[in-house]
Amino acid sequence: MQAIAVPAFRDNYIWLAPLNSEGREVAVVDPGDARAVTEVLEARALKLRAILITHHHYDHVDGVHALRERYAPALFVPHGSPLPQPHHEVEEGDEITLVETRFTVLETPGHTPDHVVYLAGGALFSGDTLFTGGCGRLFGGSAEQLYRSLEKLRRLPGESRIYCAHEYTLGNLRFAREVEPGNEALRRRLAEAEARRRQGLPTVPSTLALERDTNPFLRCHLPEVQATAERFSGRSLTSPEAVFAVLRYWKDTFS
């Protein structure tokens, strides 16, 4: 599946996922801005059939009301999310068939306690859980939860395309370089991402294979990542979860 990017706010991507081979019927993932979505729907003569929400932050849901008023799509939200009815609540393992496309729901708490991601046709709509080159901050969930969620995503097929909700790649990869200065794949990826951003091009989607090779938050089990995290924290770290918690804290203070 090839999703269409709708840039919004400063650095958000709202994704339009095609639901049939012709591509005229779409679902929108995390519409924080109804006007940006409507412009693309109208310009391309697309029919909005569904809204998929990964979590309840305003920049992912603020366009829901206006889009429902205008197009009456079905609304899918994570179980327990504070979003207005009527909607369908989704949880781990749910399968949603929209037109000709089946989406699988995975629960990925950590960024928020209610976060889910949607998988369809080799595309992973990862919201604010897995970013290109990084991962979401902790806003209500724990480091342990987010670590487990990312481990779940790390085991998906390498060719999975990562459609995350922000253009954060450069900042993420600059942090990654601090963690793994000797990682050659990372060095190449950063140079390519810098070239793309200089031309105003998106760096999303990436692939899970590339994330596994270059995203430090998926590499906490590796001795070199552990060693850097130990140097930063000044103590020995006895598990990948502990390495992850240090990296997450370090990234929050990195500029």
Catalytically active residues, by annotation: 55, 57, 59-60, 111, 128, 166
Specify the residue, 115 or 154, whose C-beta has the smaller distance to Zn ion.
Answer: 115
Is beta strand 95-98 parallel, antiparallel or unpaired with respect to 101-107? antiparallel
* Rg over CA atoms, the chain: 18
Cα 78 to chain centroid, rounded: 15
- Kindly list the residues in this chain that would bind Zn ion in the complex (CB under 5 A): 57, 128
Specify the residue, 53 or 246, whose C-beta has the smaller distance to Zn ion.
Answer: 53
CB 250 within 8 A of CB 229: yes
Specify the residue, 125 or 177, whose C-beta has the smaller distance to Zn ion.
Answer: 125
Question: What is the rounded distance in angstroms from the CA atom of residue 244 to the CA atom of residue 229?
Answer: 8
Block residue for tokens 């200065």: 181
Question: What is the rounded distance in angstroms from the CA atom of residue 183 to the CA atom of residue 127?
Answer: 26
Render 34-74 in DSSP notation, one character per residue.
HHHHHHHHHHTT-EEEEEE-S---HHHHTTHHHHHHHH--E
The nearest distance, CB 48 to Zn ion, in angstroms, is 22
The nearest distance, CB 31 to Zn ion, in angstroms, is 14
Question: What is the rounded distance in angstroms from the CA atom of residue 213 to the CA atom of residue 106?
Answer: 23
The nearest distance, CB 24 to Zn ion, in angstroms, is 30
Structure tokens that stand for 70 in this block: 């205008």
Query: What's phi and psi for 206, nearest 5 deg?
Result: -115, -170
The nearest distance, CB 53 to Zn ion, in angstroms, is 11
The nearest distance, CB 213 to Zn ion, in angstroms, is 26
Specify the residue, 117 or 243, whose C-beta has the smaller distance to Zn ion.
Answer: 117
Is beta strand 161-164 parallel, antiparallel or unpaired with respect to 130-131? unpaired
* H helical segments located in 141-183: 143-154, 169-179
Specify the residue, 123 or 165, whose C-beta has the smaller distance to Zn ion.
Answer: 165
